[in-house]
């Protein structure tokens, strides 16, 4: 750490924000690359819609199931070590997808990708809580979250073109290879605030005085092993259940776009595969704009003196209500209008996606990783249910029941954040008893 005293804080935290952004781009490419390959892959391997729904959901089974253990692990292992290990392992599993030719192999490797990606977002939340003061945190979360949309928006057409030229197998080989390279870069660059050479004493003071937990690593090193009381603490609270259930509803829209969206355009809306690949970028760009607006608006409201509850919840609730407009796609026929309806809905999803800022603000201080794990576990049950439910709801050429289901869950999410969460303030829980 640079201990030199200076009147101007350094800006090392913005480099950390950029590292998180790139990581999220890679993370979501590896989640969604199967959806890009799905139409051709299903044709080559003679996979039926219900079977494809199962394959698409396989990621979510392990991803959701390992959120709580992953969150606990985040409280115990430094992001510098845990993150690159996770990235490298899920990237290797991704590469493996390019070399299998049967349903069982696809399911097993997607289970592996989900398992190794499980700690990712709890790590992101832990890093932001460490590196950013409260008044900048929503912007930081919004910026790195936008990576999941901007990466898909600009790189989905690239993956489609790659697939058309070299086959669906290369989609997995390329995205996995990029991840392995990035794991090495993260390990080389990332450090905690007090260990980062580019962060001066003034920046660390700014972060700490603004509510950033710059010494979280030292505090967590002294923590004892997992206790059942910790799990009770993150389950026995109404505020937390409000964000848990609200996240499930928010993710339902997201996982439609990450799984069935390309198939919806090609098979059920009759669009050419190449055209669909480029049109698919429009909703992701809309979501990207929604995320940026959300973080900037939320932190602006904090700086203007609005309560943390208003500043965080207003974009989330508004975005979920906007997302419900996806139902409008059931009532239009023009490809342009279909894409417009989906773009508006996904803009709303992006606007609502700073939900991790509530985890950062509400979670008990010593259980930030575990709370984030539970939040992501319940929220990402949508990654399991949505692909399967859509596969079951689709009958023949009728995709309308599936779209209606997504719209209704968005409305339920707005109700959760609006009525269940209540006042936004950090939950206090008893300190761990070192003798037990």
**Cα gap 292→141, rounded to integer Å:** 9
Domain ranges for the chain:
12-420
Which two tokens mark 411? 């409305």
Which ranges of 304-399 does DSSP label H, i.e. alpha helix?
A: 308-323, 335-351, 356-362, 368-379, 381-393
Strand partners, 395: 398
CATH code for the domain defined by 12-420: 1.20.1250.20
Cβ atoms of 246 and 381 within 8 Å: the answer is no
Q: What angle do CA 9, 135, 317 make, to 5 degrees?
A: 155
Neighbours of 331 (CB within 10 A): 10
**Cα gap 169→163, rounded to integer Å:** 7
Q: What is the pLDDT of residue 21?
A: 93
Neighbours of 334 (CB within 10 A): 8
Q: Measuring CA to CA, which residue among 23, 282, 49, 266 is closest to residue 164?
A: 266
Q: What is the pLDDT of residue 413?
A: 94
**Cα gap 421→418, rounded to integer Å:** 7
Residues of the chain with pLDDT under 50: 1-5, 433-436
Q: What is the pLDDT of residue 434?
A: 42
Q: What is the pLDDT of residue 221?
A: 52
H/E stretch holding 251 reads helix 238-259
Helices (H) and strands (E) in the chain, counts: 21, 0
Tell me whether residue 80 is exposed, middle or buried, using C-beta atoms within 10 angstroms of its C-beta: 0 to 12, 13 to 18, 19 or more: middle
Give 375-434 pLDDT, tens digit per residue: 888 888 888 888 888 888 887 788 889 999 999 999 999 999 988 887 777 777 655 544
Q: Measuring CA to CA, which residue among 279, 24, 21 is closest to residue 156?
A: 279
What is the phi/psi pair of residue 21, to 5°?
A: -60, -50
**Cα gap 34→114, rounded to integer Å:** 13
- DSSP state, residue 100: -
Which ranges of 66-197 does DSSP label H, i.e. alpha helix?
A: 67-74, 79-97, 103-117, 120-131, 134-166, 169-189
Q: What is the pLDDT of residue 398?
A: 84
Give 167-212 pLDDT, tens digit per residue: 888 889 998 999 999 999 999 999 888 888 887 888 788 888 876 6
Q: Measuring CA to CA, which residue among 255, 252, 404 is closest to residue 341?
A: 404
The length of the chain is 436
Q: What is the pLDDT of residue 22?
A: 93
Left if phi > 0, otherwise alpha if psi is -120 to 50, otherwise beta: which for 226? beta
Q: What is the pLDDT of residue 154?
A: 77
Q: How far is CA 399 from CA 202, 271, 413, in A?
A: 56, 15, 22
Model pTM above 0.75: no
Q: What is the pLDDT of residue 150?
A: 74
Q: Which residues contact 221 (CB under 8 A, 6 or more apart)?
A: none
**Cα gap 380→393, rounded to integer Å:** 20
- DSSP state, residue 395: B
Q: Long-range contacts made by residues 397-401, C-beta under 8 angstroms, separation at least 24? A: 397/268, 399/264, 399/268, 400/330
């Amino acid at each position: 750490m640079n201990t030199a005293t200076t009147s101007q804080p350094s800006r090392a935290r913005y480099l950390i924000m950029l590292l998180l952004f790139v990581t999220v781009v890679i993370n979501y490419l590896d989640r969604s690359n199967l959806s890009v390959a799905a139409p051709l892959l299903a044709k080559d391997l003679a996979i039926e819609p219900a079977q494809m729904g199962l394959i698409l959901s396989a990621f979510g089974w392990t991803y959701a199931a390992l959120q709580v253990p992953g969150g606990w692990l985040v409280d115990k292992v430094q992001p510098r070590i845990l993150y690159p290990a996770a990235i490298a392992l899920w990237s290797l599993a991704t590469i493996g997808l390019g070399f299998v030719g049967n349903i069982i192999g696809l399911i097993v490797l997607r289970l592996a990708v989900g398992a190794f990606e499980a700690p990712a977002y709890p790590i992101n939340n832990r890093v932001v809580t460490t590196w950013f003061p409260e008044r900048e945190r929503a912007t930081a979360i919004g910026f790195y979250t936008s990576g999941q949309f901007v990466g898909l928006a600009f790189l989905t057409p690239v993956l489609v073109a790659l697939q058309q030229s070299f086959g669906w197998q290369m989609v997995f080989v390329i995205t996995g290879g990029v991840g392995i390279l990035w794991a090495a870069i993260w390990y080389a660059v990332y450090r905690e605030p007090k260990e980062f050479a580019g962060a001066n004493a003034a920046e660390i003071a700014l972060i700490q005085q603004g509510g950033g937990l710059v010494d979280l690593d030292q505090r967590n090193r002294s923590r004892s092993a997992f206790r059942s009381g910790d799990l009770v603490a993150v389950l026995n609270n109404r505020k937390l259940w409000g964000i848990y259930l609200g996240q499930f509803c928010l993710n339902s829209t997201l996982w439609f776009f990450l799984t069935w969206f390309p198939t919806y355009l090609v098979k059920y809306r009759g669009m050419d595969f190449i055209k669909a690949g480029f049109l698919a970028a429009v909703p992701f760009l809309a979501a990207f704009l929604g995320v940026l607006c959300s973080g900037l608006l939320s932190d602006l409201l904090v700086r203007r003196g609005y309560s943390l509850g208003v500043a965080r919840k207003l974009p989330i609730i508004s975005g979920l209500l906007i997302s419900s407009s996806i139902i409008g796609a059931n009532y239009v026929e023009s490809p342009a209008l279909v894409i417009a309806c989906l773009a508006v809905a996904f803009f709303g999803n992006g606007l609502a996606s700073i939900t991790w800022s509530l985890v950062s603000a509400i979670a008990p201080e010593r259980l930030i990783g575990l709370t984030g794990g539970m939040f992501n576990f319940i929220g990402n049950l949508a990654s399991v249910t949505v692909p399967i439910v859509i596969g079951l709801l689709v009958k023949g050429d009728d995709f309308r029941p599936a779209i209606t289901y997504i719209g209704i869950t968005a409305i339920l999410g707005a109700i959760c954040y609006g009525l269940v969460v209540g006042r936004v303030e950090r939950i206090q829980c008893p300190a761990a008893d070192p003798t037990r």
